[in-house]
Chains A and B, each alone.
Chain A
Amino acid sequence: MASGQYRVGFDIGGTFTDAVLTDVKSGAVWTAKVLTTVEPEEGAIASVAAALEKAGADMADLEALVHGTTLVSNALIARHGAVVGLLTTEGFTDVLEIGRELRYNTYDNSAPFPEPLVSRPLRRGVRERILVDGTEYQELDEEQVRRVLREWKDAGVKAVAVAYLHSYRNAKHEQRTQDLVWEVLGAQFPVSISSEVAAEFREYERTSTTAINAYVQPLVAEYQEALVAGLQELGNRAPLYVMLSSGGVATTDVTSRFPVRLVESGPAAGALAAAYYGRMLGERNLISFDVGGTTAKACLIKDFTPLRRNQFEVARMSRFMQHSGIPVRSPSIDMLEIGAGGGSIAAVDKLGLLKVGPESAEANPGPACYGRGGTDPTVTDAHLLLGYLSEDSFAGGSIRLDKGAASAAMGALAEKLRVGVLEAAWGVYQIATENMAAAVRVHLAEKGQDPRNCSLFAFGGGGPLHATQVAQKLRIGKVICPSRAGVMSAVGLLMAPPAFDFAKTYISKLGSVDWAEVDRMYDEMQREGEQMLVAAGVPAERMEFVRSADMRFVGQMHEITVPIAGSDLGAEAERGVYDAFTKRYGELYGGEERSDPAEVLTWRLLARGAETQEAALQVGSSAEDGADPVIGRREVYFGGNSRFTAAVYDRYRLRPGFSAQGPALVEENETTLVIGPDDSFEVDRFGNVVVTVRRAEGG
């Protein structure tokens, strides 16, 4: 272990690479922003070096580095992964292509589906069979495996994936196949076996996850090696961790074995940062709300912990359509993606109604007001026309907005709607906001959470522009706009504990569970977890093992994840497991109390390093002394017949304790916070702006 006193988190985005450095003893924070480079590791290293320089430290002073990356999801979207050979049980080579057979748009006869990651000639069946209870029904035909592998040697296959039926119950054949791959193709050859990558039932999802793992494995290994080597060259001796989709971090040894766990590495960090702020502010239930150019992202943080899901989709053909992408069976932060952002285009549909998004003007040509040739009216154009944004303070003044262009684009729309330009802009803003609120409302309902018991945590370029209106629609009373919002993701990286999730399917009905078998499974998962945590430098006394189980009533198809007792599982604990299940079921779905038999499908273990008692991050902004925070006044519109004059505040001049009444605008480099005429705000001791939103009647 390195003995330095600094931790650094760095996050590679499409345009910028951000780094946040903290002194773990004092909590002091430095940030750096550099342009993302073609070889991403170069920009990453430059951002770390820049942050170190600001702190007057160097590489040797680092204790740890934590990295968030969109490398894997980008490789899947752009399809530039490795040539993969897939071995399946004979007769099932097409499972990967057939999928679940659902259409994602029943009104479109020609909606395309994603091409399988492994094309048909490279999917080969092997004689072998395990039954549902783990019985070996047919032995593995090792010669057949060797023959296929020898063929692949010359066919340019760069990684092998193996997914046999019921391997989650008995991994013997897959493990033997893995040995054969190394025997025939070399000891270092990348191979992914489904019983290790995603040991859960449902063959399509498991095969898909394993294929993704193999597809990105060579790419991730190469990238991580270059990054580690580059850092070493500059004198780094501290360990490098990478952010997983689940919100934990792992060493590069682990992530090069399981790169599929990195699919949501980038977005996870933002939710973790929100959770950190929640703990800092004592906000138990938060909705993190991040609005960018094309999408809004929301995540429920319940009891200070971001909610997670066990499966999601990547590389969708149609971005917001379920079943149009490739399923990933691995835990991730449960992030809701909504097709509404600053670039969302407004148009009149065939019914003469106003629609906003999901089509987006993206960064190019961008909203009409960018003056880059865009002629469609967008949400950002509405912000400008409503007075929420100004022509000369957007993005810290770096992009001048063209009100004339916005007005022309919105004017054409207003004409079709037969309303004034301002009413049209208000309509666009309202509909974008309603779309965001509606999606969050449904998402929370599915989690059994009442939005009225949450606060809204808004960041990103567009979050603060919509937050108070979204809050009002959801009857949320408080909006928090964090300081240092621009580097939220990198802040999240600093907060993430080393953690890894394990899962194993063993389907059994409560009442006839073989608990000795369950104990064996947990022992095995825990042993592996311990090894990973030791490798990540977690001392034994800080290791935590959290158990949960996917359960349902016998006969149901949809399972829910339920926390179960930490140890001493056994027949006598069954009542507790059942009660935990019915309690969670009631929270989620309400309804009458039930006493039906229940079954457990998948047993889960989260191994993590408990939080360290480090000094709180000093994320607060340091306001300039004495300067008047009001830097101007603008006319703003909030619908109806009245117009308001809002005071414009410079976020960097607001001192803790400051408070004021709406209407108001708080400008900072990345965004503007809109505060309505009935709302008020204050600045807390950390520099966060906290808005009290007038709740709608009946709340």
Chain B
Amino acid sequence: MSQQQKIDPITLEIVWRRFTSIVDEAEAVIAHTSFSSTVGEASDFSAVILDAKGRLFAQTASSALGGFVGVLPRAARTVLEIFRDRPLKPGDVVVTNDPWICAGHLPDMMMLRPIFYGSRVVGYAANIAHLSDVGGRVSAEATDVFQEGLQIPPSFLYQEDRLNHDVMNFIKRNSRTPKQIEGDIQAQVAACRAAEQRSLEALQEYRLTDLEDFSDAIQSRTEAAMRSAIREIPDGDYKGEVWSDGIDESLRISVNIQVRGDEILVDYTGTSAQVNRGINCPFNLTYAETVYPLLCAIVPNLPVAEGSLVPIKVTAPLGTVVNPRYPAPVMIRVAVIHNAHAAIFRALSGLVPKYIAPTAIAAHSGGVWAFRFAGTYREVPSAYKGAGLPQESEQYMQMYLFNGGVGASGGSDGATAKSVPANVGNVPIEVMEARCPILFERKELIPDSCGVGEYRGGLGQRVVIRNLADEPIEFIPGAGDRIKNKPFGLAGGGEGSRGGIYIDGTPVHPRKTHILQPNHVVEVCVPGGGGFGRPEDRDALRLAEDERLGYVTRRSAPQP
């Protein structure tokens, strides 16, 4: 086929589909070769193909993290601006983990490689992945970003396909797991190469000289679809807020969604000021965490390209916890920003069901929780009478991830223990116990943790873990929130249960590192989701079923 001025919708679909499948392939490379548990078991990565102007052209529907929408193209454009005077050459790869350019904290590393067709740049292959370790503190306890590990400004990792060994060595030297981080980076570079190679094959096959016309067509169609969806919503200011636990004091996240014609401005004025511990969220991720719930509510399942994002503007006052000044600490930035979607759904809840489908928004969720165990394993602990753990005489730093109950939507109960708003899976108990000397005593649902309502929230869960080592180990809380501020319900629905972290039954500070003595026990409870609609409107049969299954033991509100 020849390139035409105006591209028909059939050809456009074929070509766009092809590039989406190329991104699929690139993501498979990262998933299968990464050394990072958040990538391998928890899918914490994303790849894209951008057009020559740095606009989002193709991403996958399944694996692209909702919360990463728009992060890569925005980051890529910043990097290209920085490199304006040193244009990228074929085979170059730029690396950066700058939280203000990229995804908001240092373990998230971006790779960017130009796609050259002949002598022209026709697009970019880019991806981002949460790597095993970049040094620094892994908790929220740092007081600036310098304590959180190595900062890599946009730098050439490869120049014309030659590895810049100095850059790689700097990175490795600053990681607790140098071999693994090298493997992770190689996985990302290989994904960029695969995307470039496949893109060239596709251009050849379709006899295209570049992607410009196709990208223009995709951008204008996605923009038009977005604008027409926004136009359906009445003009007005829709306000919502949500409280995060913060460090010691609760923090407010306040959104004002201003719908004007076919555009939306989301403004965070009124949000709490940044804090001097690592839960601040640089604006680039705030932007993504804002756009994602809007897309879910307004245009669920619309394929996303740069055009979908054009009619949405997001602003936040500098110096707030959702737009902190450099060099604020940011490591556990999701603790705060994972509440943003809830504020947005709350703001839009008055538009249900007339302007927004009841199932398109949901009450607040228990969220994604994470913690780590760190220690040294000198010899087989006495509890193990067999061979012990496969790792011998090694330092370990093992992350555990799990999720709370999902908030109910206006047409369905919330799912039990699922990841919202990100999409990270748990690490199997049998993998955890093979990697550090701990014993899980329980991993179970918490009855009555769901918010009541016409539709109830999903149940939260708890884990109880004993230190099996003969020496103390560190317990380092990570993501997790809603201990003081329970997940709220919508439209009269009840709150989900509160979360909690206990050592030997006593509540401990959720943002500080604790020492777990041998044979002592830590318990982590993850909240259930909020309910939707008035509890008295719940179907009697469903309530009876909840009781039969032991989800609900009392017909009153959830546990304090």
Residues of A participating in the B interface, judged by any CB pair closer than 8 Å = 91-95, 97-110, 112-113, 119-121, 129, 131-137, 165-166, 169, 201-204, 321-322, 348-355, 417, 419, 423-424, 426-427, 430-431, 434-435, 438-439, 441-442, 445-446, 473, 507-509, 512, 514, 553-558, 560, 588-592, 594, 596, 599, 696-698
- Interface bracket on B: 35 or more
Contacts of B403 in A (CB 8 A): 101
28 sample A-B contacts, Cβ–Cβ < 8 Å, listed by A number: A91-B440, A92-B443, A98-B417, A98-B426, A98-B443, A101-B403, A102-B424, A108-B359, A109-B296, A110-B359, A110-B412, A120-B550, A201-B434, A202-B430, A203-B428, A203-B429, A351-B302, A353-B13, A354-B9, A354-B10, A427-B13, A430-B10, A431-B10, A441-B21, A558-B33, A588-B32, A589-B32, A589-B190
Could you say which of A95, A101, A105, A107 has the most chain B C-beta atoms within 10 Å of its C-beta?
A101
Could you say which of A100, A169, A438, A509 has the most chain B C-beta atoms within 10 Å of its C-beta?
A100
- Is A131 in contact with B9, judged by CB distance below 8 angstroms? no
How far is A494 from B18 in the complex, measured between Cα atoms in Å?
39
- Distance in Å: Cβ of B192 to nearest Cβ of chain A: 12
Of the candidate stretches B134-142, B175-183, B270-278, the one touching chain A is B175-183
Whether B540 is near chain A, meaning CB under 8 Å from some CB there, is no
Contacts of A352 in B (CB 8 A): 9, 221
- Is B439 in contact with A137, judged by CB distance below 8 angstroms? yes
Whether B285 is near chain A, meaning CB under 8 Å from some CB there, is no
- Distance in Å: Cβ of B311 to nearest Cβ of chain A: 15
Considering the complex of A and B, which 7 residue pairs feature the smallest CB-CB distances, nearest first?
A557-B40, A427-B10, A91-B442, A133-B386, A438-B21, A110-B359, A110-B412
- Is A348 in contact with B9, judged by CB distance below 8 angstroms? yes
Whether B549 is near chain A, meaning CB under 8 Å from some CB there, is yes
- Is B29 in contact with A589, judged by CB distance below 8 angstroms? yes
Whether B232 is near chain A, meaning CB under 8 Å from some CB there, is no
Whether B109 is near chain A, meaning CB under 8 Å from some CB there, is no
Could you say which of A98, A99, A201, A419 has the most chain B C-beta atoms within 10 Å of its C-beta?
A98
Whether B295 is near chain A, meaning CB under 8 Å from some CB there, is yes
- Distance in Å: Cβ of B68 to nearest Cβ of chain A: 10
How far is A424 from B13 in the complex, measured between Cα atoms in Å?
13
* Given A95-B443, A106-B65, A553-B183, A423:B10 Cβ within 8 A: yes
Whether B321 is near chain A, meaning CB under 8 Å from some CB there, is no
Of the candidate stretches B153-161, B259-267, B387-395, B470-478, the one touching chain A is B387-395
- Is A121 in contact with B359, judged by CB distance below 8 angstroms? no
Partner of B418, one of A102, A508, A697: A102
* Given A354-B13, A445-B25, A133:B389 Cβ within 8 A: yes
How far is A442 from B66 in the complex, measured between Cα atoms in Å?
22
* Given A106-B423, A417-B10, A555:B35 Cβ within 8 A: yes
CB-nearest residue of chain B to A426: B10
How far is A473 from B198 in the complex, measured between Cα atoms in Å?
13
> B residues 401-416 with Cβ under 8 Å of A?
402-403, 406, 409, 411-412, 415-416
Residues of B participating in the A interface, judged by any CB pair closer than 8 Å = 8-10, 12-14, 16-18, 21, 24-25, 28-29, 31-37, 39-41, 43, 61-62, 65-66, 132, 177, 179-180, 183, 186-187, 190, 194, 201, 204-205, 218, 221-222, 225, 295-296, 299-303, 359-362, 383-392, 402-403, 406, 409, 411-412, 415-420, 423-426, 428-431, 433-434, 439-445, 461, 464, 468, 548-551
- Is A204 in contact with B391, judged by CB distance below 8 angstroms? no
* Given A91-B444, A94-B461, A135-B384, A442:B428 Cβ within 8 A: no
- Is B62 in contact with A101, judged by CB distance below 8 angstroms? no
Q: Give the interface SS of chain B, mostly helix, strand, loop or mixed.
A: mixed
- Is A351 in contact with B387, judged by CB distance below 8 angstroms? no
- Is B443 in contact with A509, judged by CB distance below 8 angstroms? no
Contacts of B177 in A (CB 8 A): 555
- Distance in Å: Cβ of B142 to nearest Cβ of chain A: 25
- Is B429 in contact with A94, judged by CB distance below 8 angstroms? no
How far is A315 from B283 in the complex, measured between Cα atoms in Å?
41
How far is A98 from B403 in the complex, measured between Cα atoms in Å?
10
Contacts of B34 in A (CB 8 A): 556-558
- Is B41 in contact with A557, judged by CB distance below 8 angstroms? yes
- Distance in Å: Cβ of A163 to nearest Cβ of chain B: 11
* Given A133-B387, A591-B33, A353:B16 Cβ within 8 A: yes
Partner of A419, one of B8, B18, B221, B468: B8
- Is A350 in contact with B302, judged by CB distance below 8 angstroms? yes
Contacts of A322 in B (CB 8 A): 62
- Is A102 in contact with B430, judged by CB distance below 8 angstroms? no
- Is B17 in contact with A132, judged by CB distance below 8 angstroms? no
Given contacts A109-B409, A112-B415, A435-B17, list 6 more A-B pairs with CB under 8 A.
Answer: A109-B296, A165-B429, A201-B428, A419-B8, A445-B25, A446-B28
- Is B33 in contact with A101, judged by CB distance below 8 angstroms? no
- Distance in Å: Cβ of A473 to nearest Cβ of chain B: 8
CB-nearest residue of chain B to A108: B300
How far is A445 from B31 in the complex, measured between Cα atoms in Å?
13
Partner of B32, one of A91, A129, A203, A446: A446
* Given A103-B420, A354-B9, A121:B548 Cβ within 8 A: yes
- Distance in Å: Cβ of A552 to nearest Cβ of chain B: 9
Contacts of B24 in A (CB 8 A): 442
- Is A592 in contact with B186, judged by CB distance below 8 angstroms? yes
- Is B13 in contact with A555, judged by CB distance below 8 angstroms? no
How far is A508 from B402 in the complex, measured between Cα atoms in Å?
26
- Distance in Å: Cβ of A230 to nearest Cβ of chain B: 40
How far is A121 from B549 in the complex, measured between Cα atoms in Å?
6
How far is A104 from B63 in the complex, measured between Cα atoms in Å?
9
CB-nearest residue of chain A to B361: A109
Partner of B430, one of A97, A166, A560, A599: A166
- Is B18 in contact with A434, judged by CB distance below 8 angstroms? yes
Contacts of A94 in B (CB 8 A): 443-445, 461
* Given A94-B445, A353-B9, A102:B423 Cβ within 8 A: yes
Contacts of B194 in A (CB 8 A): 445
- Distance in Å: Cβ of B334 to nearest Cβ of chain A: 15
- Is A589 in contact with B443, judged by CB distance below 8 angstroms? no
